[in-house]
Amino acid sequence: MNTVALARADEVTDLVALLLDHADAGAGTPEEITTVAERVALACLGDNHLWQDLRFASRAELSALMGHWFPALVAKNHADMKWKKFLYKQLCEREELFICKAPSCAVCVDRPICFGPEDA
């Protein structure tokens, strides 16, 4: 792990746990599933969109990866929230921390940031 990842190790651990809790056991071996979860979690530490930090060509590639390895999370992301925002929102909800600015996404002023297009 790099210095940033070490400083944020608890965050990575929480993200990996979230991903593993929603993994499809039939998607691959336990080692493969864990590796994918760890790579996604580490990429969440990046400054760009998650698909960019994973070096994918588009968000569609990330969504395909998520659909294969973590279909239960895809099902939860029914409104197609940007993946990094969605994963962190899931972590907050697990801890019963509701820090959103509005009672629902539909009325939130940040909706374009969470659900808008992801420009390269």
Q: What is the pLDDT of residue 98?
A: 61
Residue 21, number of CB atoms within 10 A of its CB: 13
Every domain of the chain and the residues it spans: 3-115
Angle, CA of 5, 25 and 114, to the nearest 5°: 50
pLDDT, tens digit, 9 for 90 and up, residues 46-66: 999 999 999 999 999 999 999
pTM exceeds 0.85: no
